[in-house]
Amino acid sequence: SSELTQDPAVSVALGQTVTITCQGDSLRSYYASWYQQKPGQAPVLIIHGKNNRPSGIPDRFSGSSSRNTASLTITGAQAEDETDYYCSSRDSSGDHVLFGGGTKLTVL
Amino acid sequence: EVQLLESGGGLLQPGGSLRLSCAASGFTFSTYAMSWVRQAPGKGLEWVSTISVSGDKTYYADSVKGRFTISRDTSKNTLYLQMNRLRAEDTALYYCAKTQLGYCSGGYCYSDLLDYWGQGTLVTVSS
């Protein structure tokens, strides 16, 4: 398969923990990268590799993977976390980059 | 500070051509791969193309292969995307991104990192 599948929308209560998932065959081989995109702005890399955060990304963001699923977890979601999240991976051939369809996170 | 400034977008008719540019600064351009990613209005991200550090390897999404060409000019610290035979479905905001190519090591594979993005340039294809 050459697709990454994300739930279109997820919600979480303020201060609670939420997990956004990404499924795809390529994730059996590749660690995913995760991007956050706020309205009208360019995407920002927030998680890469096994569970690495670029400088400046809060530690409430973490990543994990199991079999064909990559997960982004936000521990103690904040109002400013309400936005779109995208996973990304190489495809199984290694020659193409895939993005998931994106998950819109609502913080209640 | 890393800066990526895209330009060259505009409105054109189906079948037309356009060249996008991305001026890079704040990092050693010649030591990083670069990518183009697009986003149709109200839609998600779609990878378009990646070029290696030296420019000898290029990769394209199936949707643009044979129509788009990615290139780079290290002397100008600039990335390009030549777009030919444009279609309505190419309408999107086009981002360039500094890229660390994915690799495999020790039994694990790591995806590409697009660690800095420009603000994008809008391409509209319409009759």
**Chain A residues in contact with B109 (beta carbon < 8 A):** 29-31, 90, 94
Residue-level pLDDT at B43 = 97
Residue-level pLDDT at A2 = 77
State the Cα–Cα distance between residues B6 and B12, nearest whole angstrom: 18
Average pLDDT, chain A: 96
User: Among A55, A61, A51, A1, which Cα is nearest to A25's?
Assistant: A1
State the Cα–Cα distance between residues B6 and B24, nearest whole angstrom: 9
Give the E-state strand segments of A50-96 in sequence order. 61-66, 69-74, 84-90
Contact between B101 and B123 under an 8 Å Cβ cutoff? The reply is no
d(CA B83, nearest CA chain A) in Å: 19
Contact between B59 and B49 under an 8 Å Cβ cutoff? The reply is yes
The burial of A57, by beta-carbon neighbours within 10 Å (0-12 exposed, 13-18 middle, 19 or more buried), is given as: middle
d(CA A61, nearest CA chain B) in Å: 16
Any A CB within 8 A of B40 CB: no
Residue-level pLDDT at A88 = 97
Residue-level pLDDT at B11 = 97
Q: Which DSSP helix (H) or strand (E) runs through A32?
A: none
**Chain B residues in contact with A94 (beta carbon < 8 A):** 102, 109
Residue-level pLDDT at A94 = 85
User: Per the structure block, which two tokens stand in for B21?
Assistant: 């540019």
Residue-level pLDDT at A95 = 87
Residue with tokens 């994730």: A27
Any A CB within 8 A of B105 CB: no
B101: DSSP letter: -
Q: Which of B37, B45, B111 sits opposite A90 (nearest CB)?
A: B111
Tell me the pLDDT tens digit for each residue of A79-94: 999 999 999 999 988 8
Residues of chain B with pLDDT under 50: none
Residue-level pLDDT at B106 = 87
Residue-level pLDDT at A54 = 96
Residue-level pLDDT at A92 = 86
Residue-level pLDDT at B93 = 98
- In this predicted structure, the answer to whether residue A1 has a pLDDT above a threshold of 80 is no
